[in-house]
Structures are given as C-alpha cells and as structure tokens.
Structure 1
C-alpha cells in the first residue's frame, strides 16, 4: 500500500487513457463520477457505498480511503460499481470490479501506457493498431456460448473478473482477487428462523432499490421476478412490470406472470414474441454487443426492456442471481444425485468400466446405452458432468476447428477453467462449489452481460437487488442442505416466500427464459435463410472445418430442432458479429 511519502513525490509519466462507451467524454456521462484527490484521478461508475454505514461513497471519499488503505480500500466498500484509481504520483493505475462485475471494464497495456474502457467498442476506437481476433476466444465461445473473462474476442485485451483488482505500473500488469466467498455449513439458527430472516432482509434490500422515480420490473413469472415485483409493490403502488410471451406453449410462462400481476395488483405490460421480431431486431442486437454473445434469450430481454422504455420507465429491477444464490437450477439437483451415486459405487467403478466401456458391447438396446452413459459420467468430475452434453464434448474438437485454429490454441482451456473454478473452494460443499462456478460463468459472464447490454440498448438503467451484498452474505450462512433438498429446488427461499407468493408460482416447474429459435428456423423461411446464410459465411474466416458447418445445418434440418437450434444460433451470432466487425 502506498505511504504518505509515495503520495507526495513528483508525478510519474504514466499514460493512462480512460474511455467510456457513450462519448469517450467522462464529463458528458451521467453514470460516471470523477474526482482528483491527493494526486489521484478517481473514476467511479455505479453506486459504491461505505460498508460500515451504507452511506454514499463518492469519488472524493474513495480517494481518501485509497490514501489511507491503498489497494485495500475496496474492502471498505459495498454495492455495485466499477472503479478506476489512476495514481499519477506513483505511476500506478488500479482497476476494481465488484463481486459480480455488474459493470464491465476492459483494459489493454500498450507501449504508450494503459487503455481502460467500459466497452470494447470504445477501446477498439482508441487502439493505435487494428485489434486481432483471438482464436482461443472463439474456441471458448463455442464451448460456453459467450467468452468468459478475463479473455475477450481481441488478442491482448482483457476484461476484469469478479472481485478482481488489476494494477498497472509502468507497463507491468498484476492482479489479485480481493474477495472470495466463505460458505458456512453449520447454521446457528433454525430453518424457520433463517426463512423469516430472509424475507425481512428481502424487504429491506428491495426497498433500497425503489427510491428513484419511473422504476419498473422485469416479470417472467418465476420465483425471483415475482417476489421482487411483489416486494416493490410495498414501496411503489401498482408498479409497472414487463413480461414476454411466446406462441409456443412449452416456452410460454405468461400465465404465471399474469398470476403475479393479479395477486399483487401490478400494472402489467406484455409483448408476445414472433419470428419476425427476431429477424427485425437481430442486426441491431448483435451490432450493439461488444463481442459475440450466444445466449438467445438476449432477444426477448431486449424486447422487454424496450417495452419498459415505451411506457416511460427508465430503471428496471431484474431478478438475476436468485437461482445461483439459493440453488434454483435443476442441474444442481442432477449433479448432486450423480455425485451420491459416485460415492456409493466408487469401489465398483473400475469393474463397471471394464465390463461396459472397455468391452465390445454395443450401445443398443437403449437400456444398455444408458448404462454406459451412466458409467462414463461416474468416471467424470462434477464440472465435466455439468458439460456432458456440450456440443464440443459430443464431437471431435479437431474436426470442428480449422487446422490453423487447432495448431494455435488450447482446445481444452474451457474445461480447465471450469475445473479450476470448482476447485477454488475445496472446503465448500459440492453444491456451493457448483454455485460458485455459476456465479462466474452464468452470472458475471453471461446473464448480467445480457441484461445490462440490452437495457443499455433500450435506453433504461437496470439494477440487481438479488446480488446485493447483504443477500449474498446471507446466502453464505445457509447450509447447502437447506438451500436444496431432495426433490425441492430453492427449499429455503420457497419457505421464506410461503404465504407471500401465490402457491402456483412457488410450486411451478423451473422454466427459464429461452427463445424457440430452433423450432422457428425450421418453419420460418426468412429466419432460416438469415441463419443458414450467416453460418455459411463463417468459411471466410478460416475458423471451422467446412464439414462441421455443413453438418451443423444438416443436423438442424433433420435432427432435434431445439437442441441443434442452439448450435445454429451460436454460430449465426458469431458470423453476424464477425461480418460487422471484420
């Protein structure tokens, strides 16, 4: 940490360029704050708060904290923010992300100094030389359907990871993680006491996010959006809520959203998605993204945010994070059940391997094929199990990518990233380790990017009460066995909301916010033409084998439309993004 002598020295010749996406003019931004304190330039985005009193932490105060605590000043902060401290006297620049990277920062170390930006488009515009496409990022994208930080689509350009401090000093970069969760498996309270505490805490947290005018809510009809909308109605009478429906029954949850609207007296607004919506919005949505992003729910998210804007709402409350804090995804239950089988059958796995997998037995009949698949999964680690049906695990990776890509990348980097995240908390329970894995890949790298980007495109702000540090810290105190019980996802959360949410919503099957793209592309000529022509254009970039491109289209036409539709979407988005940027 710098001492007073370091802060009083002459300014160093550190060239730090800070850019923002709107106009590259910090003074023209209403979201960034800036202050000069003790020879430092402090740039702050979002709403950092003082941890002790939850008062506002303005840039000037942050500068004082930095003077006293150095790089550890972030430990005195809470809230959702991005922070840049350019210490011009010591020639050091520090970049900080919050626990979930609710606002992204990108950086590139160049010969003339450091470039920092809150969008890749702004950084690319300031680059003195063309930014090269990262082929490793393309491999990672096809695996995850997004590009996990710290990599970006550009070589030599990086993104802050959750709870990370990156420091630059005269051309040298270093980093550290300033916070890591500590899960507690021994509850000091009864289950009912924890449920009661959770509900009261939810009330307090949500109320803090209702202080601005023209605030509305995303409303899918699921647990999180419904409970948040209900709690918002305690502070804002009949708040505006926004829902998306689909003309395909298994994708449509609008009936649950209407149940919440009626139950809490909300002012509901709806839009029913059509294939024509996708065709019309896709170029604009893809063009707005900093890098290829293959989560198809980005389209309904945009239409929902756009609907809010059309009703005069300028700030949306999103429910992202609840499933990852309180165990609401079916894969958690599936993997825990598989892990229990793994523990029971551990002495027999070698025998089963020899009998089923190393023998010439066929995969038919179906029962035998399922038995072989079961044994394969028993031999895997938990992260490998989670990705068992990943496209890159079902095909020969060397047959997917071009020879030049295979030669220059690590085809299994994504697998190792998942395993490293799972292994980062060796003392945590298997469930909590899975949650932590999702905090990075599902929240920070995926859902928050999707929602924040689409709200920005629609012209509305977005906040994430479920990721408030108070709720996150509470979730760490909840033992895994109470978060999820056999046959009951989000056990404690549902108990907390019992009597507040309608039973129809509490007991609904986990659905998700998907787009029926795979089905639509089989039946809608315009959408199919757009997708197939885009995918075919990928051959210009020498990234994939032509046989793989042809096979992807063939499997979508003749195979499982929904399953292979996801692959078609991921490839189409990549092609459209490349066509626009290269």
Structure 2
C-alpha cells in the first residue's frame, strides 16, 4: 500500500523537473512512511511513497526492468502474484526481487494490456513504456485504490493517489465545480465520475487509460464490469460449498504479508466471517480490534467479544465517545473532497487502534453490496413487487398524492414515517432507489440553492447517474439493478473512499477479502432468493457461515458505525450550525439561500425537523471548500 504520483507530457517530451514530482509525493507522507522515490526521463516523471508490506528490502519504487524500457509506480497489492510469477518463470522470465511490483513489469512484457485480467488485487498503477512512448494508467476492478488525474496548461497530464497530490502542482487551476457540489449534497460524497475541483477526473473502477505521446487525450476504457445477466442453476448446497471455498481462498490470499497482520472486528456478519476464516488459516492467534461506544444503544463490543472468544483471537477493545467531532479537521484534510459519511469518525479510530500493533488489517467491506445486505435492498425488492401488482396508471397518481399529503414526521416512530415510502412507490424502481441512496432530496436542494447557483448547476441532477446505471445494467431483476448501481457508484465513492483515506491516514493497509472479484461475480449470478429470503439479506452467505458463527451473530439486526450528529447540532455543535448558516465562507459564497439555511438551523434546534445530516454536510462542505480554495 503506497501513494503514487506523476507527470506525462502528451505531445512533446519536455524535461520534467524531479523536484516538482517530489513536491507532489511529499504531500502524502501518511501513505508511504517507509520511503520515497522519484524517476524521470524526457517527457515523464514518476513518484512513489512506500508503505512496506511485501519484500521489505527489495520492493522500492518506481521500479524499472533491467534496461529501463518499462517503469512502474504502483499502489496496492496483487494477491496472486506468486502464481503469476511462477507462470512467468516457466516462460523464461528472471526476477531480481520478491515483490508483486516486479510481477507487473514482467506480466506486461509477456501479455501487454491483457495482463490486467490476470491480476487479483487492489491496485492503481502507472506504467511507462519507453518503446511506445506511452503511459498506462490502471485502476482495480472494484475501485479499492484511487487515482486522480488532470491536464494542465504546459501540455502535461498529472496524476496521483489523492487530490492533494495534484493540488501540489503549480499549474493546476483551483476552481470549484458546481455540479460536484450538487452531487455531494445529494449523495454525501463526490462520486467517481465527478470532482470538486473543476477539470480534475478520477479513473473509474475497472478502467484503464493508455496515453501515447503525440496522439492527444483519449477517454478511459473499461476492462471489467460485473454482470447480473446470468443465473446459476446449481443446488443451494453446491452454492454454499462454492461460496465457502471462494471466501476461504479470498481471505487466505490476503493474509500474505511480511509485516504484522490483523483484522477489524465489529461483531457483525461480515467482519466475523473474515475473522473466522483467518483463524482457520492461521497457526497463531489472529489480532483483532473493536471500537466501542459509551452509549449502550450504539455499542457492539459484546458481539465482537463473543466472536473473539469463539476463535481465541488476540483481541483489543477501546471505548470512545460518539462525540468525536473534534476529528473533523483531520478528516477534511485526508479526504480533500467533501465527504459527509459521519461513520468516517469511528473508522478513523478503529484504524488508529489497529495500527498500534499491525500494519495490515482485513475488513468486511463489500459483502452488503455483493450479497444484498442493506435494508434498502429489502425495501427495494418489496417495493418492486408492489409496483408489479399495481398498474402505473393507478400507482403513480395514488402514491404520488399520498406522498404529497402525508406529513413528514421525523419525530415519530419509524413505522409511522410513511411519507418517503408513499413517495417512492409513486416513482419508477430506478428513481425510487436513486432517492433511497441519497442524503438530501431534490426538493430540499432546490430550496437551498440561490437563483444564481441553480443556474450554474443547470440541468445536472445527481440522481440521474444512478437511474442510468440501473436502466443500463446487465441485469434480470430490479434487485440486480440496485446492486449494480451500488457496486458501480456507492461502493467506490463512499465505502472504499472512507476505508482508503482513514486507513492511509494512520499508515495502515486495509484489505477487503469479500471484494475479491471472483466472489462478486459469483454473488451476481445467485438467484434472488439466495440473496434475499424473507426478511434476511445476504441469505446464502449467512447459511454458509452457520458452520462457523452462532445464530445471534448471523441473524441479529444490522447496526454499523453510528454517530449522533443530530444530537451534536442541538448541543455541542449548535454554535457551528449557526456559524454555517450566517457567518461561514459557505454562507458568504452566494451559492445558498440565506433564509433557507437559517430556517434549517432553527427548525433543527427547535426539534421541528431532523436536519442533522444536512447540517453535517454543510459544515463539512464549508471546511473542505475553505481548505481547497481559501
């Protein structure tokens, strides 16, 4: 796990100043505390920050082959590098190190761009081919590792693992993109097809970009996508056996490291499954860690303790207060772009705890997206069943009217808050799901925007990308389409961004075995009934793990990291809410309607509405924009 950066002149092989590349990598020491390297040649410069995981002595980067015709800077891990290396050695290749980085160079020499199909891992890398005067940028299938890039005025393309790397280049213009602010307010994060800094792009999950000097700037191409179009016809018992084998192999392949290794353990199905399979594969006690809260309703430590005792792990727990908003500026500095998922706070704390004893930690990320584990998947599944029963000519006007008339009762018990349900039943399945995964609905955004800012946003609507993804998904069922949108948009934009930035903030490598692409492809072929059964999501996965985990772990209600942000803005952050509405840089920007912002604060403080998430979004946005644009 590392950080990469570079400069490539697209038209003319102008000299690249090594100090400029060095300044780019120097802004992310957290991603590579164990070393740094810069390599330059006419028209190209590559930089690297290293967190040593495999081949501690011989894996320094940027790495070249013996004649320096190929040079790579690489962030991530290739988990099957030993198998690829063995095949290459049979074909006559000779290696000078034991690193997975060198495998990339030899695999490219053997198979060209097709080598990426052989890699099982998390990665973002840039490979310069001197013979073709080309730079090849590649990102892993699911988007675990990030890669930003932009063109600048001297005719070069600059790239890096974080936005701050590009901002360190003096020719990058710092202007906010209004469309990205619309995306952020709608979704709570800036998705991979957008960036808060105008002109900056992110290479998408499963994409690669070949830049050949003198041929201009092409568009990225996708080399992998998940398909829900096929269905397995295997019996449930055979599916369980195959799933267990895939999970076991995914976990074991991610336990290869030359540094201390452990796991996050929340006590939920996903992390508990990973720990169970690690314990099965390890001759020593697995190191596990859990963050608990001093509020009983938010605390999961007893479930984590249960799993830790079952597998005799070397377990550590630390209680923290959910009132950890003092981390806000630290989070803003590491995310660069505004990021409003408040679970980043406890994620930072659990990474911090893990890093005290290990350098690599396995997580349970990805199973909810792959196996339909979110409550919204169940609601979407049921909602689409209802849509099929009631003709559109009746359903849309009936539920649309009910949604308009029913009061928004934030204060009421969950079963009385039917307004959103009625509204979504009046929409198409894709529109309903786009609203379900959002944070601030379109009507609130329209009220917030000033007339001038609304004109800048134009016809752009954040939800449209989700609707398009679902409508164009390689899928058979509405649930397929929802999961496809999650894997393409939500997973890399929110979940994996959070894990990458928070783990890297403390110099920790996080690995996601449940996002092994073979597992994701297997899950996409499952019949719907093996994903959702009754009220249970991740049905087949839970059945398969019954051999390892107790029922009260497998079938308890999902919690996840929770932070009491609504309470904060009625208590310790009440002054921050007032400042955002009246005295902040955001309030002075002219983008938002001052009266609407003031009413949002007043209604929340008075308990007339719950605007905690929106106020957190606005506070994070204000801090992020101030940091980025002054």
What is the TM-score with the length of structure 1 in the denominator? 0.88
Q: Distance in 2 between matches of 1:275 and 1:201?
A: 36
Q: Does 1:400 align with 2:448?
A: yes
| Aligned partner of 1:278 among 310, 325, 347 | 325
Q: Does 1:150 align with 2:193?
A: yes
Using the TM superposition, give the Cα deviation of residue 123 of structure 1 relative to its aligned residue in structure 2, in angstroms: 0.9
Q: Distance in 2 between matches of 1:200 and 1:535?
A: 54
Using the TM superposition, give the Cα deviation of residue 43 of structure 1 relative to its aligned residue in structure 2, in angstroms: 2.2
Q: Does 1:382 align with 2:425?
A: no
Using the TM superposition, give the Cα deviation of residue 85 of structure 1 relative to its aligned residue in structure 2, in angstroms: 2.2
Residues 98 and 13 (structure 1 numbering): CA distance in 2 closer, same or farther, change over 3 Å? same
Using the TM superposition, give the Cα deviation of residue 437 of structure 1 relative to its aligned residue in structure 2, in angstroms: 1.0
Residues 270 and 410 (structure 1 numbering): CA distance in 2 closer, same or farther, change over 3 Å? farther
Q: Does 1:35 align with 2:59?
A: no
Q: Distance in 2 between matches of 1:531 and 1:481?
A: 45
What is the TM-score with the length of structure 2 in the denominator? 0.82
Using the TM superposition, give the Cα deviation of residue 431 of structure 1 relative to its aligned residue in structure 2, in angstroms: 1.6
Using the TM superposition, give the Cα deviation of residue 296 of structure 1 relative to its aligned residue in structure 2, in angstroms: 0.2
Residue of structure 1 equivalent to 2:491:
443
Mark the runs of 5 or more structure 2 residues left unpaired by the alignment: 1-10, 30-35, 39-46, 53-60, 86-97, 410-415
Q: Distance in 2 between matches of 1:85 and 1:274?
A: 45
Using the TM superposition, give the Cα deviation of residue 15 of structure 1 relative to its aligned residue in structure 2, in angstroms: 7.3
Residue of structure 2 equivalent to 1:469:
517
Q: State the Cα deviation string for residues 207-233 of structure 1 (Å, max 9, x = none).
A: 222233421211111101111112222
Residue of structure 2 equivalent to 1:159:
202
Using the TM superposition, give the Cα deviation of residue 47 of structure 1 relative to its aligned residue in structure 2, in angstroms: 1.8
Residues 329 and 370 (structure 1 numbering): CA distance in 2 closer, same or farther, change over 3 Å? closer
Q: State the Cα deviation string for residues 358-414 of structure 1 (Å, max 9, x = none).
A: 699954799xx9888656433422232124464543625332122332112245431
| Aligned partner of 1:228 among 274, 283, 286 | 274
Using the TM superposition, give the Cα deviation of residue 28 of structure 1 relative to its aligned residue in structure 2, in angstroms: 5.4
Q: State the Cα deviation string for residues 182-236 of structure 1 (Å, max 9, x = none).
A: 2364324210121122223322221222233421211111101111112222215
Q: Does 1:105 align with 2:147?
A: yes
Q: Distance in 2 between matches of 1:173 and 1:548?
A: 43
- CA contact 1:184–1:478 (8 Å) conserved in 2: no
- CA contact 2:186–2:442 (8 Å) conserved in 1: no
Q: Distance in 1 between matches of 2:398 and 2:143?
A: 48
RMSD over equivalenced CA pairs, Å: 3.1
Counting matched residue pairs gives 564
Using the TM superposition, give the Cα deviation of residue 517 of structure 1 relative to its aligned residue in structure 2, in angstroms: 1.9
More helix by share: 1
- CA contact 1:116–1:123 (8 Å) conserved in 2: yes
Using the TM superposition, give the Cα deviation of residue 126 of structure 1 relative to its aligned residue in structure 2, in angstroms: 1.1
- CA contact 2:142–2:492 (8 Å) conserved in 1: yes
Query: Does the residue aligned with 1:233 lie in a helix, a strand or coil?
Result: helix
Query: Does the residue aligned with 2:291 lie in a helix, a strand or coil?
Result: strand
Residues 427 and 226 (structure 1 numbering): CA distance in 2 closer, same or farther, change over 3 Å? closer
Residue of structure 2 equivalent to 1:81:
123
Residues 126 and 199 (structure 1 numbering): CA distance in 2 closer, same or farther, change over 3 Å? same
Q: Could you tell which deviates more after superposition, 301-310 or 547-556? A: 547-556
Q: Does 1:321 align with 2:369?
A: no
Q: State the Cα deviation string for residues 100-129 of structure 1 (Å, max 9, x = none).
A: 121111101123211011111111011314
Residue of structure 1 equivalent to 2:472:
424
Q: Distance in 1 between matches of 2:512 and 2:418?
A: 43
Q: Give the 5 Å matches for 1:68-217.
A: 69-111=111-153, 112-169=155-212, 170=214, 171-183=216-228, 185-212=230-257, 213-217=259-263
- CA contact 2:260–2:358 (8 Å) conserved in 1: yes
Query: Does the residue aligned with 2:533 lie in a helix, a strand or coil?
Result: coil
Query: Does the residue aligned with 2:465 lie in a helix, a strand or coil?
Result: helix
Q: State the Cα deviation string for residues 449-484 of structure 1 (Å, max 9, x = none).
A: 111111111221111111122322332332222111
Mark the runs of 5 or more structure 1 residues left unpaired by the alignment: 1-10
Residue of structure 2 equivalent to 1:247:
294
Q: State the Cα deviation string for residues 293-342 of structure 1 (Å, max 9, x = none).
A: 111000101111111223x2221111100111111111111111110111
